[in-house]
Amino acid sequence: MYNLVLGAILFVSPWLFAFAGRIGGVDALLTGSLLVLVSVAAVVAFAEWEEWISLALGVWMIASPWLLGFAHTRAMHILIGVGCVVVYFSGLELWLIHYERPHHGGEAQTRIG
């Protein structure tokens, strides 16, 4: 659900922060719409691959200003900020999916009194 909100913010960011029409604006529009689509798919039926795609989109958001040539712009700051949050939450979700708590046999019962 958090990725849906972040994707929507990223989608409208070219108009909110006045960088529409440039390569950074196009990147924000496309990446934001992809993030929204993956998030909607995750809400409908959760699958692990959706988190992996979200993680990859977050990494792309962080790297794209240098790869596409719009470093040191307003779009760069927005994309990197949203990308860091997406990478954090997607990585956390993947870790929680794969993390298994150690089992302590019969000692896991709590004694009261």
Note the pLDDT tens digit of each residue in 94-106: 999 888 776 665 5
Q: Give the 3-state secondary structure of residue 19.
A: coil
pTM, rounded to two decimals: 0.83
Q: Which residues of 13-49 are buried (b: 16+ CB within 10 A; e: fewer)?
A: bbeebebbebebbbbbbebbebbbebbeebeeeeeee
Instruction: Encode pLDDT of 47-88 as tens digits.
Output: 888 999 999 999 999 999 999 999 888 999 999 999 999 999
Contacts of residue 92, Cβ cutoff 8 Å, sequence gap at least 6 = none
Structure tokens at 59: 């990494």
